[in-house]
Chains A and B, each alone.
Chain A
């Protein structure tokens, strides 16, 4: 089986395989042991092997979801838009439309004191949340997904380390880590990942005809250029690519193979994405980002300005159903402790309403949810004031949030990566939230 610790290909690896060597350099073997596992000096450490990031693009309102406050009126009186309900964790409430997740909240850690200072633009805040830093004019910082791909590779053989369900953007990219730590993406669970699905009208038989002809053409070119490692690398990549696009990995995208009951349990298109995320993680993908901003549900998606507020509960309900199904499914399959689920968004929203009953942007306090991953779950960390605007205790900066994800994933957040000769730590002095670890 061909290992895919990352997308990068070099012909030395291919050469070793061709030579039938069984001893691979450690960096190339799948599921490499994290180097920092037993280093006691860098704080708490988790036990997660995979991460699923549920990304609520647009800026999900914390006081309407995970951090409910006294109720407002949708007009002049500021406050939450919904009633709070109790959860499986005594004393911790969430919004009434999160009723399924509420019952599973003992599998979660709510971080209610997340904050940054980027508010006016989605792309900039999205970039901050994914890279943990303000953009720089001297480099492009990698996303958290690419960092995981780079540091830990794929778990399994023959699969990519990092998959995005959503639109491609530099914020999700590998930055200075290079294309080897990039992602595979798809925007539609039915269509499958871009670049892997064969084009319209090319069936298996026709593909075989194509590959047979290409194989001969490539062989001749390789023979003429056998000394050229770049040519060999490219040919090796082509062979691995065809394998990746082959039935084994592509069968992961076949949601039809799951029971109807389970598919219904996950619910909407977003739910199906979450189900696919579970399947990807099981196949050995290290990090999956699932975006959820299907704006046709309520008009605005999570960016609930104006009238977008009125149907926000439909978004919350779909999130609730999918998240609860994912936790339950992973637990049943005994993967929850090894799979960290993160629900994040670029910022929260203020308790006040705008002129048409919606909400603006707010980043001085908002919530991020962690679940599973071997964390000390069943708690809310951090408190905000009576309207969710000021953090009263346990603030979590974005570097701290990244450090927490890193530690849960057994990666050292202080480790220096290299942009050429320039050392860049994974986080800028980020410190994992200690209470989240048992």
Chain B
């Protein structure tokens, strides 16, 4: 153990009792970190790279050698659950065991304020031990620190919460306990918040590293499969002879899809590319970098950079949440809810996991159920045929087979029978299934002249056999199956086998639709009787997907590099009629997540909502209460589940973001799979950007706004006008636009600087609320939540570094640009 690090170990096998009395345990995870403070733990991954649950409870043990001279000290120990701290074998501080609570009738605990600037207030739902300790002289001032903390227990979630040890020599400020006291972080509010942010970033890095090293055997298996696939699918020769064109454009040209339109300008291209890859508008520094690249390689360089950007994953999660009907419920889930397998989706796209492996993992449904693994997909609460629901999802997502109707009867407008859906369901079930009573038409058989037919009687037993021989024969290439007896694995292999051409076609069609706004088969979930436009290009891209090792980024690159993608967007109405679409994108309204996440890029502010849970104290099990954390991106939100209409159960800060997401078509409830959201234009959409608390935060020039610092520098008015346009719409202003902004900002410009100093951002609302399920029925809980609602409505305090009058004018310009239709449409 190095002298200046904390050695952290996690130990399994702790009995589920509220007692420190247990046998010797063996550590199963171990790492080092500089300070004795945690705001979460890295995930545990299986040998398949999937999130798995740790047993509950488990123990965190941290040890370190420290240099502390003899003298008087004050120690602070903070923990959610039982923890104890000893120095040189002497216990100096401890906290009590977390108790499960189900009633909701407790008193709201008072906020524990430290009353000193060097110690941040205690987070809600945590305990604190403050102790004075006198350390006797020791050789070399060397001390051995031992910290042990319980995580989880009977009936409570395995969440660490915040765990920290701070120390203050007499008369000196508190600092976090570290092996090397010289550079230990302080514990003031500002310093602690900085530590939390750094720790969160470290967690992400740890998780990436753990996951990417957890599954070597799996990776070998998939490499082997991809070799098999490449042998099975040869590359076609490209048509035509125009070597100046990329493959996509050559196939389009060969299909007589020609266009004389030139590609869009650089600013438009970059905004489009950034929104399509990262899901947000580009920053000014990204634009600057882009324009500094040599013209010849500029766009290619940008494509490489943005494809490698980890936010690629953020932009994909929302898509797959819809397509795979990810539907977690944070409170007693009973509405066809699944587990939060969003985290597995996110991991998969962070790693650019081959898409055949992604599908296979989904079908096998392993890993954590409530903690974010694909096992969460297996759940369908209050659904008596969960595997039929999953078969329906898989059919639409990966095979272009719409089995929605077959849930209850033979599909009237499709060649599918109810039996085929239940064949798939039985494969997922790994054994024959009985058709449940509810899986038929309410009120009995349809009339004789109805197009709807019922050929299965409730109670019929259905076998686990592959029902789509026309898509892929029952015979699989050698080397695909690892367990020949597992029907689920067989199903996954039949979907992802190179012999199944439908699957890669469905996938590249999804990609094309996402980036161009139209598709080879426009009904992306339903390929029944599909007559693809540009079938040879579709086939080429499908082969490229397979041959690249099922690499979506490879296909995305082919699309982004094409002139078709880079041409000006056409109105969607041009798609009508029988002529094939022009080789250019159609203009799309951005999806809800792109709009909201871009608002936060514009403001540079953190979302700072509550934890997405109604039990922030962690005193209930994850089968009834989930904690989805504090969102950083829109995909992390979920239905806020206040069907009880209790003000005390409101999450006002989260609600303010959800309001905007919902206005733009985000689904809080996803009991069934969809690809294309409701595209209706409603008055609530522009209103959400005009008036919502979330958009107000984008506009208000508080001290933490991305533009505030710049507006107090010596920028000229035309430069400020340009800054606004570049920052919000990713392009410079035209001379007319510049003049317009200058006219608004001229009054008061020369005296715009106010006297004020920088204020830190308001504390996050998670620090403000002590309301949890355990106490939400107490009148104080309602009072606190109503006060929070008021605070959220009031918004961020504006900076005093700018005079109010001029600041308001600047805010009005930001407001107008954010509310411009240009902001909400793809460029």
B 683-703 binary contact with A (CB < 8 Å = 1; else 0): 111111011110010010000
A 209-250 binary contact with B (CB < 8 Å = 1; else 0): 110011011101110010111110111111011101100000
Q: Known contacts A121-B334, A135-B382; decide if A300 and B777 are in contact (CB<8 Å).
A: yes
Q: What's the dominant secondary structure at chain A's contact region?
A: loop
Q: Which of A122, A178, A234 contacts B644 (CB 8 A)?
A: A122
Q: Known contacts A137-B671, A140-B669, A300-B777; decide if A214 and B335 are in contact (CB<8 Å).
A: no
Residues of chain A with a CB closer than 8 A to B465's CB: none
Contact A170 B335 (CB under 8 A): yes
Residues of chain A with a CB closer than 8 A to B815's CB: 210, 214
A357 at the A/B interface (Cβ < 8 Å)?
A: no
B 117-154 binary contact with A (CB < 8 Å = 1; else 0): 00000000000000000000000000000000000000
Contact B678 A179 (CB under 8 A): yes
Give the distance in Å from the alpha carbon of A171 to the alpha carbon of B777 in the complex: 23
B380 at the A/B interface (Cβ < 8 Å)?
A: yes
Residues of chain A with a CB closer than 8 A to B680's CB: 7-8, 178-180
Q: Known contacts A221-B822, A429-B442; decide if A227 and B793 are in contact (CB<8 Å).
A: no
Contact A241 B692 (CB under 8 A): no
A60-68, A289-297, A380-388 - interface stretch = A289-297
Residues of chain A with a CB closer than 8 A to B740's CB: 213, 216-217
Number of interface residues of B (CB under 8 A): 95
Give the distance in Å from the alpha carbon of A9 to the alpha carbon of B8 in the complex: 58
B253-261, B347-355, B603-611, B778-786 - interface stretch = B778-786
Residues of chain B with a CB closer than 8 A to A196's CB: 687, 691
List B residues 320-348 near A (Cβ within 8 Å): 325, 329, 331-332, 334-336
Contact B825 A230 (CB under 8 A): yes
Shortest beta-carbon distance from B822 to chain A in Å? 5
Contact B672 A140 (CB under 8 A): yes
Q: Known contacts A135-B382, A167-B645, A228-B572; decide if A306 and B105 are in contact (CB<8 Å).
A: yes
B794 at the A/B interface (Cβ < 8 Å)?
A: yes
A168 at the A/B interface (Cβ < 8 Å)?
A: yes
B27-35, B38-46, B60-68, B660-668 - interface stretch = B660-668
Shortest beta-carbon distance from A83 to chain B in Å? 27
Residues of chain A with a CB closer than 8 A to B389's CB: 137-138
Residue with the highest number of chain A CB atoms closer than 10 Å, among B644, B655, B816: B644
Query: Which B residue sits closest to A172, measured CB to CB?
Result: B643
Contact A137 B681 (CB under 8 A): no
Give the distance in Å from the alpha carbon of A240 to the alpha carbon of B687 in the complex: 9
Contact A222 B335 (CB under 8 A): no
Q: Which of A213, A225, A238 contacts B812 (CB 8 A)?
A: A213
Residues of chain B with a CB closer than 8 A to A191's CB: 789, 793
Total A-B residue contacts, Cβ distance less than 8 Å: 272
Q: Which of A136, A244, A303, A429 contacts B687 (CB 8 A)?
A: A244
Contact A235 B821 (CB under 8 A): yes
A124 at the A/B interface (Cβ < 8 Å)?
A: yes
Q: Which of B103, B672, B737, B821 contacts A138 (CB 8 A)?
A: B672
Contact B684 A169 (CB under 8 A): no
B93-101, B306-314, B481-489, B646-654 - interface stretch = B646-654
Shortest beta-carbon distance from A136 to chain B in Å? 7
Shortest beta-carbon distance from A12 to chain B in Å? 12
Give the distance in Å from the alpha carbon of A197 to the alpha carbon of B669 in the complex: 26
A317 at the A/B interface (Cβ < 8 Å)?
A: no
Residues of chain A with a CB closer than 8 A to B793's CB: 191, 199-200
Contact B405 A293 (CB under 8 A): no
Give the distance in Å from the alpha carbon of A19 to the alpha carbon of B641 in the complex: 45
List A residues 289-337 near B (Cβ within 8 Å): 291-296, 299-301, 303, 306-308
B582 at the A/B interface (Cβ < 8 Å)?
A: no
Shortest beta-carbon distance from A225 to chain B in Å? 7
Query: Which A residue sits closest to B407, measured CB to CB?
Result: A138
Contact A214 B816 (CB under 8 A): yes
Residues of chain A with a CB closer than 8 A to B329's CB: 123
Contact A234 B686 (CB under 8 A): yes
B 784-817 binary contact with A (CB < 8 Å = 1; else 0): 0010010001110010000000001100110111
Residues of chain B with a CB closer than 8 A to A291's CB: 645
Q: Which of B335, B404, B688 contacts A123 (CB 8 A)?
A: B335
Contact B662 A168 (CB under 8 A): yes
Closest 6 pairs between A and B when the two form their complex, measured CB to CB: A170-B669, A137-B389, A238-B686, A228-B571, A7-B682, A57-B645
Known: A138-B392, A195-B663, A242-B690. 11 other contacts (CB 8 A): A121-B332, A123-B335, A137-B383, A140-B671, A168-B659, A169-B641, A187-B650, A188-B789, A217-B740, A295-B777, A429-B442
22 contacts between A and B (CB under 8 A): A8-B680, A10-B681, A57-B645, A57-B646, A123-B334, A123-B643, A138-B404, A167-B643, A168-B659, A180-B680, A195-B687, A195-B690, A199-B793, A200-B793, A206-B812, A218-B821, A220-B736, A238-B819, A240-B683, A245-B690, A295-B648, A429-B442
